[in-house]
Structures are given as structure tokens and as C-alpha cells.
Structure 1
Amino acid sequence: MTDAVEYIQSPLCQHYTADGLTVSIDIYRTEDSNWILEIVDADNNSTVWEDHFETDAEALDEALDALKQEGIHAFVGTFG
């Protein structure tokens, strides 16, 4: 028997567009965890932060800072 994990999605999730590219900023948690930050591109490639955040607002701030500092191209494309 498998127990399905239910995720709580933040209302702060949003799309971010720059240089003609768009990514999704996904912020979610389980009932027992802090907030998880993930940026997903149009091809479903994702970047997930190892550190979790106390609040969803902190996670959003981190995402926006990273996108502005590193540029959207750092979060788009095939990784590996």
C-alpha cells in the first residue's frame, strides 16, 4: 500500500517571462515540511532548490533574485 503525499501549492506561484522565454515558479510544501522552490521551463526541465524556505514569500524572493541575477537562460534547457 502506498500513501500518496499531498502537496499544498502556494498562491504565490507564477509565470516569469524575460527575453521571450517563460518559466513557472512553483512553490509548494507538504503538511509537515517547509516550502520547496522549483523553476520549470516550457519543456518541463526543472531546477529545485536543495534548501527549503520558512515562508512562501521567502521562496518567491529567492526565485526572482536568481532569475534576475543569473538570467532566465540559466533555467531553460536540458540539464545533465
Structure 2
Amino acid sequence: MLAHRHEQVRRRQLAHATHGVFTDYAAFAPQLQAAGLMTAAGRNSLVGTIDPAVSVPLVRSEVYSFFVRHLPAPR
């Protein structure tokens, strides 16, 4: 996909996060761990060690920014 790009590419990466941080697991995994339903290692492999209080607002902001850039404004 990047080899055939026609415009500038913006890459974002969150430190201490895995791909699962872009799902609802970012908020649920720490709760599952606190309830004893998930190990710390399981949580870290699923969403990373980033605090959901940090990751959730950052992901929301990036998704919003993407849609503002790429979807036409309502008329």
C-alpha cells in the first residue's frame, strides 16, 4: 500500500502499545487483569503496558483526525 501512495503518509505509533490498543481491549484488559481474569503478561501482549487513560484519548484523537482529513464535510 505504501509503495503505491499518491499523497503524504502519516504514521503514528504509541510507545509501549501493541496493535490491540486500537480496540476496546485497551480499556477492558486492565479491568480483566484487576479482576484476576487476565495475567499481566496476557494484558501486555494484548495491548502493551500503556495506561488506558493515556491510550484511549490518543487513539480517539487520531481516528477523529483521520476522518476529518479523508471524509467530505457535510453540506
TM-score (norm 1): 0.29
Looking at secondary structure, tell me which structure has more strand per residue.
1
Looking at secondary structure, tell me which structure has more helix per residue.
2
Larger RCO (CA within 8 A; separation ≥ 6) = 2
